[in-house]
Amino acid sequence: MPDHPASPDPAASVPAAVALRDITKRFGDLVANDGVTFDVRPGEVHALLGENGAGKTTLMRILYGLTMPDRGTIEVRGRPVHIGSPRDAIAAGIGMVTQHFSLVAPMTVAENLALGRVSGARLDREGMRDAVRRVSVAAELPIDPDARIADLSVGQQQRVEVLKALSRDCRVLILDEPTAVLVPQEVDALFTTLRRLVAGGLGVVFISHKLGEVRAISDRVSVLRRGQLVGTAPGDTDERELARMMVGRPTFGVERPPLAGDAGRTVVLHVGAVVADGARGLPALRGIDLEVAAGEVVGVAGVSGNGQTELVEVLAGMRAPTEGRVTVAGRDVTGLGPAGMMAAGVGRIPEDRRASLVMDLPVSLNLILERIDDFRGAAGLDHRRIERHARELIERYQIRATPRDPVRTLSGGNIQKVLLARVLEHDPRVVVVAQPTRGLDVGASEYVRSTLIARARGGAGVLLVSEDLDELLAVADRLVVMYEGRIVGSMATADADVDRLGMLMAGRLRASQAGTAA
C-alpha cells in the first residue's frame, strides 16, 4: 500500500495519454519494478522521483521500448499497445529526451531532425528546412534550421531534442534529468516552454533529483522506492515530505554552521595567476587567482568545460601549470605531482569516482591504495591490520559493505563514501572535491554534503567544484564563477543572486557589472 496516498483529484476522470499497468521487471534476483502503475494525462507534468536504483530509469526504458517488462501492460489513450522498440514508442506518440543528447554535432538542425526519416538517395534539403520551421513555429521554439549542432549552446541543443520529438507527433514527452546541464536562465526558458506545450495538451514525464524544480513545474509527483510505487502526491507537496517518501525517513537537508568570521583567517590554499593548457595544447586556465581559508567551503560554479576540470587537475598535481604559483599553508607546491600534493596536505575527491578505485578489489584494499606501503610488514601486506582499518572506516563513514566486498558491488553512494573515507582519514589541510553528488540519490547526497561541511568547520579548507547550483548554494560559504578559463565573479553565498550567477556562468555579465570582485 502507498504510504502517501494521492488526494482526490478532479482531473482523474481525464483519460490517460499513456498508462503503465502493473509493470514488473526483474534482472536476476533484483526486482527493478514491482507491480508499478503509473500514468500521464494530456496537459500535465507528472514528475517521477526516487533514489538511484528505485526503478525510475527501468520504468521509462520500458515505456520507450528499450526494455521489455516481465509482466504488465501499456495503454495509449485507453487502448493496449505493444511497445517493443523506440520505433514503436515514437509511432505511439511517445518521445524521450535524456541529459545525454543523441544529436550529431557536425550536422545541422534540419539534418538532425531528418535522421532516420529520410528514404531514397536524394535529400530534400529545402523540405527539411521547412519542416523545422513549421514545428518550431508551432511550438514557439525558434531555431535556425541551418545552424550546426556543434555551434549551439547546451540549452539550444536541448531545444533541438524537444523539437525532434515534437516533429514526430509526440503526445507524451519523457524528460530525464533535463536541467542537469543547464544554467538558471536556460532552466527558466525550459520551464516556460514546457508550460506552453502542456497548455496545448502535451503530457510530460519529468524525472529529476531537484525537489525545488519538481515543485515548480509538476502537477503530480509519483515516488518509487525499491522498485515499488509508494505514493502519488500533488506537485506542490512540501520538499521534506517528498524527500521522506523517497528515502523512507525524514530528510531535512544539510546544516551549514556560520563561519567564525574573518578574524584570524588563515589561508590554506592560494592560487596565484595560474595559467594551464588543456586538450590539444589550447589554453584552459587564463590567470586564475583564488584563495581558500581554513574552515570555509569555497564553491566553484560554471557550465561544464570552462576550466573547472583543469583547475582540479592542477591542484591535484595531475597537470602542471605553465605560469603562476600554488601554495598550501604557505608552502610553494607548484608543479608537484599527485604524491607530492598529497604529502603537502591536499586531499582530492575526483568527479569520476570509479576511475580512482580498482573496482574488482575489495573495499579494504581500496581504502589503502594511496598509502599501501604503510600497511606492509616483514612478510608483505599485513592483511589483519588492513581489515581492522577497513572495519573502523566502514563504521565511521557509514559504508554499507564489508571489508571483503568488491567495490564494483557497491552503490554509487557507498562508492563515494569509500573515497571520502580514504581521503579524509588523513586529515588533509585542503580538500579539493569535484561533482561529489553527481548521480547520487537524496540520502547519499545529504551525507556527502554534511561530511564536507563538517570537515571544513573542523579546520580544513574545502574547494567544491559542482555544476549543481543548488548544491553550491547549500554547501558553500563563498562562490566563484568560472567562464572560459577565468574567474569572472566572486561573492558570499548569502549575497548570491541566482539570476546574476546564471548570467556570469553564461558569459553574459562581467564581474564589474555583477558588483562582485573577481
Beta carbons of 99 and 304 less than 8 angstroms apart:
no
The grid coordinates of residue 218 equal: 509538476
As assigned by CATH, the class of the 1-7+14-93+171-245 domain is: alpha beta
The confidence score (pLDDT) of residue 250 equals 58
Q: How far apart are alpha carbons 191 and 175 in whole angstroms? A: 12
The confidence score (pLDDT) of residue 39 equals 97
**What single string gives the DSSP state of each residue in 221-260?**
EEEEETTEEEEEEETT--HHHHHHHHHSS-------PPP-
Q: How far apart are alpha carbons 480 and 493 in whole angstroms? A: 10
For β-strands 478-483 and 461-465, DSSP reports them as unpaired
For 226-252, the pLDDT digits (tens) are 899 999 999 999 888 887 888 765 555
- Among 442, 435, 445, residue whose Cα is nearest residue 299: 435
Beta carbons of 188 and 111 less than 8 angstroms apart:
no
For β-strands 461-465 and 228-234, DSSP reports them as unpaired
The domain covering 267-514 belongs, at the CATH homologous superfamily level, to P-loop containing nucleotide triphosphate hydrolases (3.40.50.300)
The confidence score (pLDDT) of residue 381 equals 87
Q: Please count the CA atoms within 13 angstroms of the CA of 4 that sit on its side-chain side.
A: 24
Q: Please count the CA atoms within 13 angstroms of the CA of 359 that sit on its side-chain side.
A: 9
For 359-394, the pLDDT digits (tens) are 999 999 999 998 888 888 778 888 899 999 999 999
- Among 375, 369, 371, residue whose Cα is nearest residue 355: 369
The confidence score (pLDDT) of residue 270 equals 97
Say what the pTM is.
0.71
Q: Directed axis angle between helix 442-457 and helix 412-424, to 10°?
A: 10
Q: How far apart are alpha carbons 17 and 172 in whole angstroms? A: 7
Q: How far apart are alpha carbons 392 and 336 in whole angstroms? A: 31
For 160-186, the pLDDT digits (tens) are 989 988 888 899 999 988 887 777 888
- Other C-beta atoms closer than 10 Å to the C-beta of 121 total 5
Same fold, 1-7+14-93+171-245 and 267-514: yes
Q: How far apart are alpha carbons 203 and 94 in whole angstroms? A: 9
The confidence score (pLDDT) of residue 119 equals 53
List, for the chain, all residue ranges whose pLDDT scores fall below the cut of 50.
1-2, 5-8, 10, 120-121, 263, 512-518
The confidence score (pLDDT) of residue 373 equals 87
For the chain, the domains span 1-7+14-93+171-245, 107-169, 267-514
The confidence score (pLDDT) of residue 158 equals 86
